[in-house]
């Protein structure tokens, strides 16, 4: 049992060290030697758990996407599209800011080193909420749902980039992001009567 626990701890340490390196340097800029050095674990132990850098990247992406999916699943479904959209955006942005695994997964997927359906699922959910808000008259008719969806994506991706640049400090999303999100949402809303009062 102790051997199994040690193996689990080693694997966890390697995935975390790899996530830090992939997040900072990307796939191509990360070496297995750097991951071993960061984790304080031998190359032999790394290759016992992961046969290649690609396998290690896939493990990091699986864990990061898992975090994002759990956050998404925990978001409320109140039937009020602006409220639900706001809760989803703030939760995903917060996770990307605070979790190096989630940020690393997003980078690996975006750069094409790991295949995942997460981007399509995330974009589809945002698009669905935006379209429902638009059809209900809660969003201004001057902005198409596709444009609003793209704006949401850029804002959330910006959180991950900002966290990467600032060293991915742990903690909640940057204090100004909810304000930035509120400003964007106010610009998308149809007006004062669009139901923003109860939006997070």
Residue 164 main-chain phi, psi, to 5 deg: -65, -45
- 43 in any annotated domain: no
Q: Could you read off the pLDDT of 26-51 as tens digits, one per residue?
A: 999 999 999 999 999 999 999 999 99
- 166 in any annotated domain: yes
The tally of domains found in the chain comes to 1
What is the reported pLDDT for 192?
57
CATH of the domain at 159: 1.10.357
Q: What's the distance, Cα to Cα, between the start and end of the chain in Å?
A: 46
- 177 in any annotated domain: yes
Compute the distance between CA of residue 125 and CA of residue 117 in angstroms, rounded to an integer.
12
The CA-atom distances, in angstroms, between 116 and each of 69, 111, 127, 189 are 12, 12, 18, 32
| Residue 51, token pair as written in the block | 């046969």
- 162 in any annotated domain: yes
- 103 in any annotated domain: yes
**Average pLDDT over the chain, rounded to whole?**
88
- Does an H or E element contain 114, and which? none
- 42 in any annotated domain: no
Residues of the domain holding 143 = 61-194
- 26 in any annotated domain: no
- 7 in any annotated domain: no
Q: Could you read off the pLDDT of 148-200 as tens digits, one per residue?
A: 999 999 999 988 888 887 765 544 455 588 888 988 888 887 665 555 555 66
């Amino acid at each position: 049992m102790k051997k199994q626990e040690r193996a689990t701890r080693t694997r966890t340490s390697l995935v975390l060290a790899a996530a830090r390196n992939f997040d900072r340097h990307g796939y191509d800029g990360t070496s297995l030697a750097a991951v071993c050095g960061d984790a304080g674990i031998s190359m032999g132990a790394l290759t016992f758990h992961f046969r290649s850098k690609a396998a290690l990247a896939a493990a990091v992406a699986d864990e990061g996407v898992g975090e994002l999916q759990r956050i998404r699943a925990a978001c409320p479904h109140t039937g009020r599209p602006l409220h639900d959209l706001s809760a989803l955006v703030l939760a995903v942005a917060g996770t990307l800011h605070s979790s190096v695994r989630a940020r690393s997964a997003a980078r690996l997927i975006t750069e094409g080193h790991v295949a995942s359906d997460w981007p399509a699922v995330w974009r589809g959910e945002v698009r669905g909420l935006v379209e429902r808000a638009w059809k209900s008259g809660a969003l201004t008719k001057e902005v198409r749902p596709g444009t609003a969806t793209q704006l949401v994506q850029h804002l959330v991706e910006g959180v991950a980039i900002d966290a990467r640049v600032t060293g991915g400090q742990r903690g909640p999303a940057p204090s100004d992001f909810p304000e930035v999100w509120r400003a964007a949402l106010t610009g998308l809303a149809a007006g004062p009567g669009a139901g923003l009062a109860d939006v997070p």
